[in-house]
Structure 1
Amino acid sequence: MSFPGIQRSTLQAIGGTPLVRLDHVVPEGAAQVLLKLEGGNPTGSYKDRMALALIEGAERRGVLRPGQRVVEYTGGSTGSSLAFVCAVKGYPLTLVTSDAFAPEKTRTMRAFGAEVIVVPGEGGQVTPDLFARMRQEAHGIVEREGAFWADQFHNTDAHAGYTGLGREILRQTESGGASVDVFCAAVGTAGMISGVSAVLRQAGSRARIVALEPSSSPVLTVGTAGPHRVEGIATGIVPPLLTADVLDEARTVDEAEARRMALRLAREEGILAGTSSALNVVGAIGLARELGAGHTVVTVAPDTGLKYLTGDLFEG
């Protein structure tokens, strides 16, 4: 393993995360499942990649001026990542979030110096109207203060943030003597699955791209939104960044099964990850069973389970 020299900024610590093979939770006779561990990024989330791309893209275009306030609505991981990037670059930041998300995320945003506005949720669940209410609050701040809206759901700079992730997957699988047969991941803004898909296809990969979502909110597969407790995904809409050329297929995963898998990942694989990571793994295992031995399914653990320790995810 090689290590870089001294980095001039914590922003350069983003990326370069490991890709590991799951040994214990994947059944015998299935394809190998490789998991990209994004918890190694500075805030413990792959959203660090996107946050840097959103801010630096705006800087290059001249739509974000020195000292201008940045605004975004967020389930927490994007907010934490934007708070980190804005702290390093010196931008004031206002984030709109909800008490439906893990309190660790709100505390992280405030620790980096962001102003945080909390929109009440309903029964601790991510409901179809929650993101609409958060978006309305953020829009009001932009109108009143002339702030720059990072706009993660529409900003195509998000793709650039995740091309590095796609290139890393290609290099890591090739150096390990494998090729990607399927790449699957749950969809929030869809920036990650879109960015990785573009890289794989530009490289000539024939990998199948599969979007995952909780069966309790099957917007992509059925067109119906519903409440759930998987943070960071299934926001109740088909995200604008998820264009028709990105996907080959969309599938649902049972949320209860994903929550059980989070515990298995910790206790059998030594991987402490959240519910969206576990949902990705459950979806990947289903695909691995169908493909069989001699194939490779790649998915992503978007963040670290350290963000979810105050909830009930790891009880049992």
Structure 2
Amino acid sequence: MERPGGLAAVGGTSVVRLARLADARSAQVWVKLEGANPTGSYKDRMALSMIEAAEADGRLRPGQLVVEASVGSTGSALAFVCAVKGYPLRIVSSSAAAEEKIRTMRAFGAEVELVPSPHGMTPDLIPTMLGRARDIVAETGAFLVDQFHNVDMVTGYERLGEELLDQLDGRLPVAAFCSYVGTAGCFLGTSRALRKEHPELLRVVVEPVESAVLSGGPAGSHNIEGGGVGHEPPLLTAADYDEVVTVSEADAFAMARAAARTEGILSGPSTGANLVAALRLAERLGPGRRVVTVQVDSGLKYLSGRLFTP
């Protein structure tokens, strides 16, 4: 299908092997560079998939207002997609989001409403944002994207897994895939595609130590945007993953900085969490195998925050 404008550039990102962070006695670690998508995030895949599916089945009418609650990258991606397709967009976001993400939404023409959250990602933040988004829908008759419950996002990420299968030769097995989870769309879509070719794939979800709900811990506050929202993702079941790895906010931030300075992979804290988890798995699994993860987004989204502050 021929897509207009910048939509044609979604997907088709490169995958690279870590050269310096991974130990020679460990499995190889490969990273899909999703920061190369038009808005600098893998969320472009899900935003496009959700909007196109809603268009196809009539849930979204031409010119209808679109509404979503997003801490950042989904909002940026929806703003991009809606701008090209001609839909007005209102995003309920938060002060917990990186300023670059908010500015990106507005640059594409979205109207953005911010919910204060001085302590970062807190357990009540997403429910508060969702409540406000639903109020707007009730007032306006808008289409609510509802990313946490929208199965069309998973379809958008299946192509990411298919790309990995095309890009990685079969000489070494893909032994494990790990991904930081918020909606869990990337984890579900990618792992399902990879398992078709690698049925023994170890599927590992990543979450913050500070809000380790999937591990049976309490919800808490942290600053690894994009996940650890304080509740289990509605579309993720226990049958969808094999284990959980927890990563501290401090380790995620440190790894994001290290990846930039040693591998040239400039990214945010959620990618840092992915890399911490991938390197732990690689050490455990040993040589002769591959561990795959994703660069969630570009570090250009975080330059005004404390991630890269000297």
Alignment of 1:51-200 (within 5 A): 51-123=47-119, 125-174=120-169, 177-200=171-194
- Secondary structure, aligned partner of 2:211: coil
**TM-score computed with the length of structure 1 as normaliser:** 0.95
Q: 4+ runs of 1 displaced by more than 2 Å?
A: 6-9, 201-205
Report whether the alignment pairs 1:280 with 2:248: no
**TM-score computed with the length of structure 2 as normaliser:** 0.97
Give distance in 1, aligned partners of 2:121 and 2:154: 25
Aligned-residue Cα RMSD (Å) equals 1.3
- Secondary structure, aligned partner of 1:174: coil
Give the C-alpha shift of residue 68 in structure 1: 0.5
- Secondary structure, aligned partner of 1:153: helix
Matching residue of 1:50: 46
Letter in 2 for 1:288: A
Q: Tell me the matched-pair count.
A: 309
Report whether the alignment pairs 1:31 with 2:62: no
Question: What do the CA deviations read for 1:63-104 (whole angstroms, capped 9, x no partner)?
Answer: 100010000000110000000000000000000000111011
5+ unaligned residues in a row in structure 1: which ranges?
A: 1-5
Percent of residue pairs identical: 54
1:310 to 301, 304, 307: 304
Letter in 1 for 2:213: V
Matching residue of 2:291: 297
Contact 1:180–1:205 (Cα < 8 Å) also in 2 = no
- Secondary structure, aligned partner of 1:83: helix
Contact 1:273–1:303 (Cα < 8 Å) also in 2 = yes
Alignment of 1:174-253 (within 5 A): 174=169, 177-253=171-247
5+ unaligned residues in a row in structure 2: which ranges?
A: none
Letter in 1 for 2:158: T
Letter in 1 for 2:22: V
Give the C-alpha shift of residue 206 in structure 1: 1.8
Give the C-alpha shift of residue 7 in structure 1: 7.3
Give distance in 2, aligned partners of 1:269 and 1:7: 33
Contact 1:273–1:304 (Cα < 8 Å) also in 2 = yes
Give distance in 2, aligned partners of 1:270 and 1:203: 30
